[in-house]
Amino acid sequence: MPAGNTPYFLFSANMKKKKQISPTVQPKQKAKPKAKPKPTPSTPSDVEYQQLFDTCVITTAKVAEVDKIIDEKVVANRGRYEDISTMVQAGGVLEQPRAFSTSSMFRNRPYYNAFSGAAPQQLANPVPTVPEPLFQQWPTRPPDFSLGFKPQSNLMGLGYMCQLAGDFNPVAGSRIPWYFIACVHYLECSFSFKKHLHNGDPLTGYTVQVPAGRPKVGHPPPFTFEESAVDALKLMGFDKVTSWKLPFILRKLEAYNGFGYFKFHHMNSPYLWSYSNHYTKGKYVKDGKFDKDAVSAQTGSAVILKRMEERGLIYIPRF
């Protein structure tokens, strides 16, 4: 008899049961979910735009050409761009035709009425009909515009532009910067005042290209450049923008010609960076047709803004 006085038949049954015990089965490991691929950005980031702008070096052989555009096209028409910015901000029309003297200190200024029935307001910076020397308002030493020009330093580290009492504002505002309108005018119309700011169609009729049928100003063609430009900027929603920082400005300028360079060819757009160290070659020669060896012969709009900052004409807020 087995030890412990256990009956043999029970002992045998227990042994059989023990032999039938199966080893412990490990549960199956759940497969780890696959990581979702990171979405590809459709535009450069704010940081990338700012780094591109701050590290932009204008091609030495092209500096004189860029300066000529700035002096003869951008600064010379500043007053018209500022008038448009004023009208976009408040709505309304100019009350009287422009009449200017050759002195920016004492020139007559047109009036602007934001709302019908309201007292007309005097515009701040109308454009002179006769080009005037830059900085003639300030009797201090004029800036040296040679290639070796370096802005004078000051406590804020913002150079000569702090002395100009002009477009220096380190914090972004809600009014459309006049130099942004100038760049859009360049991209869409090649600075022609006979074309719609929407897309470069002639002012003698409504726009035909996208957006078609503009402007909507309450009367048939022909249209003035100013009323069409106000319509174009409002159509883009720029009257609702509350902060005009550098990355926003560069992104909106690039958007006028699309982000195909960034998304499909992994390169900087010549419409911003042509004539600088950020662009060599590659260009859409027509809609949907990219030529990797074509070289843009047009100055990039970001290059124009960069040169204007270098010369102390403007300062674009970074924050």
**Calpha distance 156→1 (Å, rounded):** 104
Between helices 46-54 and 301-310, what is the axis angle to 10°?
60
What pLDDT does residue 159 have?
Answer: 40
Please tell me the predicted confidence (pLDDT) of residue 31.
73
pLDDT of residue 157: 39
Stated pTM of the model: 0.68
pLDDT at 236: 94
The secondary structure element, H or E, covering residue 15 is helix 8-20
Grouping H, G, I as helix, E, B as strand and the rest as coil, residue 13 is helix
Mean pLDDT of the chain: 77
Convert the pLDDT of each residue in 234-280 to its tens digit: 999 999 999 999 999 999 999 998 999 999 999 999 999 999 999 99
The 3-state DSSP class for residue 54 equals helix
One-letter-per-residue 3-state SS of 184-218: HHHHHHCCCCCECCCCCCECCCCCCCCCCCCCCCC
Domain ranges (residues) in the chain: 46-89+156-310
Which helix (H) or strand (E) segment is 270 a member of? helix 270-273
Listed as ranges, residues in the chain with pLDDT below 50 are 95-122, 124-166, 168
Condensed to tens digits (0 to 9), the pLDDT of residues 274-307 reads 999 999 999 999 888 999 999 999 999 999 999 9
Answer yes or no: are the C-beta atoms of 100 and 188 closer than 8 Å.
no
- The predicted pLDDT at position 112 comes to 40
The sign of the CA dihedral 223, 227, 231, 232 is positive
pLDDT of residue 24: 63
Residues contacting residue 50 through CB under 8 Å, at least 6 positions apart: 246, 247, 318
What's the confidence (pLDDT) of residue 10?
Answer: 53
What whole-number distance in Å separates Cα of residue 70 and Cα of residue 283? Answer: 24
Structure tokens given for 260: 């195909």
How many Å apart are CA 3 and CA 222, to the nearest integer? Answer: 118
Per-residue confidence (pLDDT) for residue 208, from 0 to 100? 96
What's the pLDDT at 234? 95
